[in-house]
Amino acid sequence: MPLDAYPFSPKFGWVQDRDGLSWQLSLTPREQKIAPFLMFVGAQHGNAEAAIHFYTSLFPDSGVEQIDHYGEGEEWGAPGTVKLAAFRLAGETFMAMDSKYEHDFTFTEAISFYVACETQDEVDRLWTALSAVPESEQCGWLKDRFGVSWQIIPNALTTLMNDPDPAKAARVTQAMLQMKKIDIAALERAHAG
């Protein structure tokens, strides 16, 4: 979308940078300067609202801030689907919309949400709730039922992989590479040798 005035912003532009990353630039005031924006297209069109409610149910300090729906005759989406939504996950603002247009993109592993977990219980809970595509699971990465990729990573992994002893760090790395969901106890055993 060219840089111009739109009903939702006095100045807005949707561009792609030289590395292929998509950016939406807006003069609409927001508390958070940069927010991930999920566009539900193709087979996922119409799933934005379900995804928002699902995601906000999983994390503390989460909730829906705004959901506007397309009405009859609006160009970009089917009536009743999400025209624009803002929501919080763990205190961070996210945005989402549905688009009924044929797009040459969808969600891929090139963009994922990294979740730093404190405990194995947190890893297990989020993994069970989010993982919907078993063949995409590897090294703490998963894909949810909406096609969005997540990294469910315990803080212990980073700590153990950064051990100043290269042999310990290497054992932890090798153990992690064999895992789908990260197992903190197994990492600690590998670290100990």
Amino acid (1-letter code) at residue 111: I
Compute the 3-state secondary structure of the chain and give helix, strand, coil in percent, each to the nearest 5: 30, 30, 40
Give domain 4-98's CATH architecture.
2-Layer Sandwich (3.30)
What SS3 class is residue 66? strand
pLDDT for the residue 180: 98
Cβ atoms of 127 and 181 within 8 Å: the answer is yes
The closest of 192, 54, 186 to 120, measured between CA atoms, is 186
H/E segment holding residue 193: none
Distance CA 76, CA 42 (A): 13
Q: Is the pLDDT of residue 186 over 80?
A: yes
pLDDT for the residue 142: 98
Quote the Cα angle for 104-110-114, to 5°.
135
Q: Is the pLDDT of residue 7 over 80?
A: no
- CATH annotation of 112-192: 3.10.180.10
Q: For the ranges 3-12, 44-53, 69-78, 170-179, which has the lowest average pLDDT? A: 3-12
Cβ atoms of 117 and 154 within 8 Å: the answer is yes
User: Is the pTM above the cut of 0.75?
Assistant: yes
pLDDT for the residue 77: 83
The neighbour count for residue 38, using CB atoms within 10 Å, is: 25
CA neighbours closer than 13 Å in the CB half-sphere of residue 89: 19
Mean pLDDT (whole number) for 104-117: 93
The closest of 92, 157, 70, 147 to 122, measured between CA atoms, is 157
Q: Which residues pair with 64 in a beta bridge?
A: 87
For the chain, what are the domain ranges?
4-98, 112-192
Q: Is the pLDDT of residue 9 over 70?
A: no
